[in-house]
Structure 1
Amino acid sequence: MCDTLNNDYHLHEELGRGRFGVVHRCYSPISSSSFACKSIAKRALSSDPTDRRCLDVEPKILRLLSACPHVLRLHAVYDNDDYLHLVTDLCDGGDLYDRLASGCRFSERDAAAVLRQLMSAVASCHRAGVAHRDIKPDNILFDSRGRLQLADFGSAEVFGGGATPPEMSGVVGTPYYVAPEVLLGGNYDEKVDVWSAGVILYMMLAGVPPFYGDGPAETFEAVVRERLRFPTKIFRSVSPEVKDLLRKMICRDVYRRFSADQVLRHPWMINGGETALKEE
């Protein structure tokens, strides 16, 4: 497609930037609606195929997931020699990172509301044969009505399509949130997304990640080696039901780790964060 972005949309203020692109608010005079435009400067990418794969992967996967709930919707793609522009829904309600960075501690009911929307998106992605592979608070956006939208599929991978179990490889993801099997090398499956979502649930309730260190290397070592803990000072008022769910999401045994659909069927999720049991 030729680059006619400026003919169709008017670019306005910058909304944010990441490793591969800059996001601006844009306006369509045809529809009288506002959108977001993610622009990736091709010359800024290294020659590493891992970096350049985002040019092909993200548009392809966003089109594949166009009908999935709580996944950022792609409206248009403009591609030329210098830039790739992706026009998507506008999420002007901020992101989960900002809410966590402000020191916000979520009630169980509020955490369940966020997790339900996130896992609905993840389960739909997995049923479509897509693993996100970089779920983190920065990529969890909210629109003006407070509805969650999962964004940034530049590290995503398509899996499945055969009778064998889905397998992926390659170290991708972000410290704090990446699953241990990704760091250990070899093949892994889509449950890496469930681990990442479990870490986010832990952070919403505790205000701190379950595994961390002084710098990425120490954080990765903690993810691989340390045991999941619930410090009494932080988790005294947290219910046994949500601790049970966390153990099943942040589970090193991939075969025992919950799938996205199993998370949605857990009693704590079904009850919307309302709990009936007392800590023994």
Structure 2
Amino acid sequence: MTEALKRDYQVCEEIGRGRFGVVRRCELLDPSAAPSSFSSFAVKSIDKSAVSSDDLDSHCLLTEPKVLSLLPPHPNLLRIHNAYEDSSHLHLVLDLCDSPDLQRAVASAGPLPEPEAARILAQLMRAVAHCHRHCVVHRDIKPDNILFDSQGRLRLADFGSAEVISGGEPAAALRGVVGTPYYVAPEVVAGREYGEKVDVWSAGVSAVEIFGAVLRANLRFPPRFFRSVSSTAKDLLRKMLCRDASRRPSADQVLGHQWVTSYGGAEATDLII
């Protein structure tokens, strides 16, 4: 631990472990310096020796703090509050999200009721729309990266695969196969140029994950999983999982869909779990 980190925070118990390091809860030693009413945070300590010389690993290590510092704050984005570095580790102080992520929540509780699923999707798409308005494409949206803070508010996390598109570039300006295979958009797999709508596809697959269903090669709604799912929910999923990115809705258009406005149209401050 760097002396500067220990001077500012009391580092407490481990709350998570990943490929490159450990996440611990930490307490701000001077609560009056807190950026909000909260003094509890998470510190993600990245072991530099675990990061290979592979360009992708190095890119992920450097990209997350860069993108999070560039993006204006949003209630549904994980924020970075401080960064510290020593010879062996990079330490990022982030919002504390001590509730189960979406993957674990669904695995534990099973499929969520439509109103709750819609509120989750609404918060997720607000975060995505905010990123897109500031020319950031996340590129790895999946239930594991959809976290919840102590108030139950959704926080989109893990920007290691994110990319910034300059304002003058066309909507399809990115290349490279990144993300998690199950959730990646077809245009990425095909090796074509792509744009911000890859995030809408991934969010749509995550929505299917919310309902506990399985995607086939062609989008279908097996009665076993979708018997009780409304027609408006299935209509939105068909649109979000359109293989033609030019016909796929934007994040803002998803937020305007009837299913989202009916169930999930309340502001992002709504607490859902």
TM-score greater than 0.5 by the shorter chain? yes
2:214 to 195, 209, 212: 209
The answer to whether residue 100 in structure 2 is matched with residue 94 in structure 1 is yes
Alignment of 1:127-138 (within 5 A): 127-138=133-144
Alignment of 1:93-242 (within 5 A): 93-205=99-211, 207-211=212-216, 226-242=217-233
1:264 to 255, 269, 272: 255
> Structure 2 stretches of 5 or more lacking a match?
33-38, 266-273
> Which AA in structure 2 matches 1:189?
G
> Structure 1 stretches of 5 or more lacking a match?
212-225, 275-280
Check 1:125–1:101 CA distance in 2 against 1; reply closer, same or farther (3 A cut): same
Q: Measure, in 1, the Cα distance between the counterparts of 2:138 and 2:25.
A: 24
Between 1 and 2, higher relative CO (CA 8 Å, sep ≥ 6) is seen in 2
Alignment of 1:49-88 (within 5 A): 49-88=55-94
- Normalised TM-score (structure 2): 0.90
State the Cα RMSD in Å. 1.7
**Residue 181 of structure 2 aligns to a residue in which SS?**
coil
Give the superposition deviation at 1:123: 0.3
Give the superposition deviation at 1:4: 1.6
Q: Measure, in 2, the Cα distance between the counterparts of 1:55 and 1:108.
A: 36
Q: How far does the alpha carbon of each residue in 1:226-254 deviate from its partner, in whole angstroms, 9 at most, with x for none?
A: 10110012211111111000000011000
> Which AA in structure 2 matches 1:29?
L
CA contact (8 A) 2:122 2:264 kept: no
Q: Measure, in 1, the Cα distance between the counterparts of 2:29 and 2:206.
A: 38
**Residue 70 of structure 1 aligns to a residue in which SS?**
coil
Check 1:10–1:273 CA distance in 2 against 1; reply closer, same or farther (3 A cut): closer
> Which AA in structure 2 matches 1:232?
P
Q: Measure, in 2, the Cα distance between the counterparts of 1:20 and 1:267.
A: 41
Partner of 1:15: 15
Give the superposition deviation at 1:54: 2.2
Q: Measure, in 1, the Cα distance between the counterparts of 2:175 and 2:95.
A: 30
**Residue 84 of structure 2 aligns to a residue in which SS?**
strand
Give the superposition deviation at 1:166: 4.4
- Normalised TM-score (structure 1): 0.88
